[in-house]
Amino acid sequence: MTTRDAFLAKIRAAQPAPRPRPEVPLFPVPEGDRRERFTAALALMGGTCVDANSLDDVRALICGRFGPDAVVASAVAGIDGNRPIAPDTPPVSMHDVDVGVVRARFGVAETGSVWFSEAEYVVNSIGYLVQHLVVLLDPAQLVDGLQEVYRRPDFQAARYAVLVTGPSATADIEGVLIRGAQGVRSLTVVWMPRGDQ
């Protein structure tokens, strides 16, 4: 037996017996419209929400906000970026992308968060290496609180899952807030039902 195998055997032997996970309670739902609560929570974290009636509106938003020469990688069918992505795209290739376009599976009104799995991102680094993230979200796919997220079957079935709340931000000891220090500089949620594509 190698040293590694002996070490791992000791760890396995010392593990406590399995026990069931505690039940996560559902907390009372705050008053007010989910969409309004989501928008307010996201704004506190530095994100913005806009409405769109079609994918043409989304394309116009991207061109108007980021310019016609922006490098765009899109994981949304119907929005063609000029940087194609596929599941075998090297993650590092997102390093010079200006705008990433993705569709969130659902959003959380309590925190203004959007949820992605490997299926939505296609290439996981699209959520971290691009400069600006544009997220399509169906307003009908909002849940009230984080405790509801863990009850969803799509959360339990995902190999990779992430909740994103606003753009990346950090503040130093003097309280100077910097956006985009470790990730995206801006996050825009576009309200767009799935049927409107």
Q: What is the rounded distance in angstroms from the CA atom of residue 171 to the CA atom of residue 168?
A: 11
Tens of pLDDT, residue by residue over 54-101, are: 999 999 999 999 999 999 999 999 999 999 999 999 999 999 999 999
Q: What is the pTM of this model?
A: 0.85
pLDDT for 197 equals 57
* Structure token digits, residue 89: 């795209």
Contact yes or no for 133/184 (Cβ under 8 A): yes
Neighbours of 57 (CB within 10 A): 15
The pLDDT, as a whole number, for residue 165 is 92
pLDDT on residue 131: 94
Q: What is the pLDDT of residue 183?
A: 82
User: What is the per-residue pLDDT across 22-64, written as a single tens digit (0 to 9) for each?
Assistant: 887 888 888 889 999 999 999 999 999 999 999 999 999 999 9
At 39, list the tokens: 């928008």
Distances (CA, A) of 60 to 15, 24, 29, 73, 104: 56, 42, 36, 15, 20
pLDDT score, position 176: 79
% pLDDT > 90, the chain: 73
Residue type, 67: G
**Rounded-to-integer distance, Cα 135 and Cα 138, Å:** 10
If you ran DSSP here, which 8-state letter would residue 112 be given? T
> Phi/psi class of residue 78: alpha, beta or left (left: φ > 0; alpha: ψ in -120 to 50)?
left
Q: For the chain, what is the mean pLDDT?
A: 91
Ramachandran bin of 49, using left for φ above 0, alpha for ψ from -120 to 50, beta for the remaining angles: beta
CA 137 to the chain's CA centroid: 11
**CA gap 38, 112 in Å, rounded:** 4
Q: Measured at the alpha carbon of residue 178, what is the angle toward residues 169 and 111, in degrees to the nearest 5?
A: 30
pLDDT at 170 over 70: yes
Domains of the chain by start residue, with CATH: 33-196 (3.40.50.10420)
* Mean pLDDT of all residues in 96-117: 96
